[in-house]
A and B are shown apart, each in its own frame.
Chain A
């Protein structure tokens, strides 16, 4: 991060004080702790953007409202290909976030891929589709490469060709007005290789597997959200949070055992 010329700090507080748009990029169970920590420093100008899966706008606004009456919150769901600027991002604006705040986020995220606004209740479905989607694609690519290798291709070439095939197909679909079913037909010459292969996919219930996957991911996201709303956070997560807090406040201190940590934490609170 520092190599890219970005300012780096180990203090969450400093980050809040010198920024207008705050991206909370921690794991969902940690969010409540971070909000507690930075809450006092949140001012009306701040836009708090949460990318945490399953964490509702409502839960963030509730936590922050003890510190600030009208916190601007935007909830966002993106995916890993933002790394190569081909991300898929959706966002939903909270009660006090203005249209311009949403547009600002959209502008930012559009620089790393596709970004659009949605109603918050669709975010779980988006998670199931494009959030988890890259994993489905990686699995498919791994298998396609295996197929290539089985039929005699060297592994590296098989991976390269498989990835390019999916990339190209996706690009064709995005740039075409045609339905994917039509595009599929266009590749299938009568009695040819492709239709034979597709028959195998259909026999294996390929389509239903994909539908099942999106559904499972979406449902699990909802489950996690429900658990989070109940504030049922695992003790392991809590322990880790405290350890992280210690590391953040005194980077030079090495953390050894659990007993040492608790002593230090209570001492620092007194300060």
Chain B
């Protein structure tokens, strides 16, 4: 989005597998994590959880008071991060979701003991270009996983089912899928832009004795609401459990 010139971004990875994409955007790349830490002030950690401890060991000597370390690593707490980095390091933890890649993401972040308002503001301003970015207490991060991290998959499932219903009723699949996606997009947009309660928006669509209320009755019969609540709960609990490992 132009907030940071690509040439100011340095990405590091063990192999060239993913680095090509960075280079195409105009970023510099390296295979050396330490180089990233030496040459940058804002450092994002984006490894798989089991790899992170080793990476932190590696870069620890080079981390100083000027650095801002932002972890995107699922399940690794601020406490753990601060333990594995030099005392006094400014640490923040962020949980994004997949649609960040189309600038319609939902991200929450929490700050560690040494990260202040300036760091939080910087992160928020940088990442807002990828979508919604809010600071939260760390305890909300697992909930965010259940709601929005995994939540994207629930929406894909719902979209698939909508399209299948349409196909059953005689619409070609490709068209049905595009319309299903647009329906979700449009409804979400209305929710976000009107700020109205979803129940009110739902009521607005339901003309007495009309098609919508008949369909909603089917959804209620299937206890969709409870099932969705169960899903969010299950994913959140799983995130908590995994963090403990």
- Point out residues on A near B: beta carbons under 8 Å: 178-182, 185, 199, 202-205, 207-208, 211-212, 215
- Given A179-B203, A199-B226, A199-B229: A205 and B220 within 8 A (CB)? yes
Q: Which of B197, B217, B223 contacts A202 (CB 8 A)?
A: B223
Of chain B, the residue at the smallest CB distance from A182 is B197
Contacts of A182 in B (CB 8 A): 197, 199-200
A52 to B139, CA, bound (A): 59
* Contact B199–A181 (Cβ < 8 Å): yes
B197 to chain A, nearest CB (A): 5
Q: List 22 A-B contacts (CB under 8 A).
A: A179-B199, A181-B198, A181-B199, A182-B199, A182-B200, A185-B197, A199-B226, A199-B229, A202-B223, A204-B226, A205-B220, A205-B221, A205-B223, A205-B226, A207-B225, A208-B217, A208-B220, A208-B221, A208-B223, A211-B220, A212-B221, A215-B217
Q: Which chain B residues border A205 with CB–CB below 8 Å?
A: 220-221, 223, 226
Q: How far is the CA of A212 from the CA of B217 in the complex (A)?
A: 8
Q: A215 CA to B209 CA in the complex, in Å?
A: 11
Q: Which residues of B lie under 8 Å from residue A179 when comparing CB positions?
A: 197, 199-200, 203
**Least Cβ–Cβ distance between B218 and chain A, in angstroms:** 9
State how many angstroms separate the Cβ of B169 from the closest Cβ of chain A. 22
Distance A115 CA – B118 CA, assembled complex (angstroms)? 61
Report Cα–Cα, A182/B195, bound state, in Å: 12
Chain B residues at the A interface, C-beta cutoff of 8 Å: 197-200, 203, 217, 220-221, 223, 225-226, 229-230
Shortest C-beta distance, B148 to chain A (Å), equals 16
Whether the Cβ atoms of A202 and B229 lie closer than 8 Å is yes
**Binding site secondary structure of chain A:** helix
Tell me what chain B mostly uses at the interface: helix, strand, loop, or mixed.
helix
User: Measured between alpha carbons, how far is A207 from B223 in the docked complex, in Å?
Assistant: 9
Closest B residue to A178 by beta carbon equals: B197
**Minimum C-beta distance from A135 to chain B (A):** 20
Residue of B nearest to A179 (CB): B200
CB contact under 8 A between A181 and B223, given known A202-B229, A211-B217: no
Per the bound structure, the CA–CA distance linking A181 and B199 in Å amounts to 6
In the bound assembly, the distance between CA atoms of A207 and B219 in angstroms comes to: 10
Q: What 4 pairs across the A-B complex have the smallest Cβ distances?
A: A181-B199, A202-B226, A208-B220, A203-B226
A202 touches B199 (CB 8 A): no
Q: How far is the CB of A180 from chain B (nearest CB, A)?
A: 7
Which residues of chain B come closer than 8 Å to A215, judged between CB atoms? 217
Contact call B199/A180, Cβ cutoff below 8 A? yes
Question: Nearest Cβ distance between residue B207 and chain A, in whole angstroms?
Answer: 14
Please indicate the chain B residues that have their CB under 8 angstroms from the CB of A185 in the complex: 197
The answer for the CA separation of A207 and B222 in the assembled complex, in Å, is: 10
Whose C-beta in chain A lies nearest to the C-beta of B225? Answer: A202
Which residues of chain A have C-beta atoms less than 8 A from B198's C-beta? 181
CA distance A182 to B200 in the complex (A): 8
Given contacts A199-B226, A208-B221, 10 further A-B contacts (CB under 8 A): A179-B197, A181-B197, A181-B198, A181-B200, A185-B197, A199-B229, A204-B226, A205-B223, A208-B223, A211-B217
Which residues of A have CB within 8 Å of B220?
205, 207-208, 211
Which residues from A are CB-within-8-Å of B225?
Answer: 202, 207
User: Which B-chain residue is minimally distant from A184 (CB atoms)?
Assistant: B199
Q: Which residues of B contact A178 (CB under 8 A)?
A: 197
Cβ–Cβ < 8 Å partners of B226 in chain A: 199, 202-205
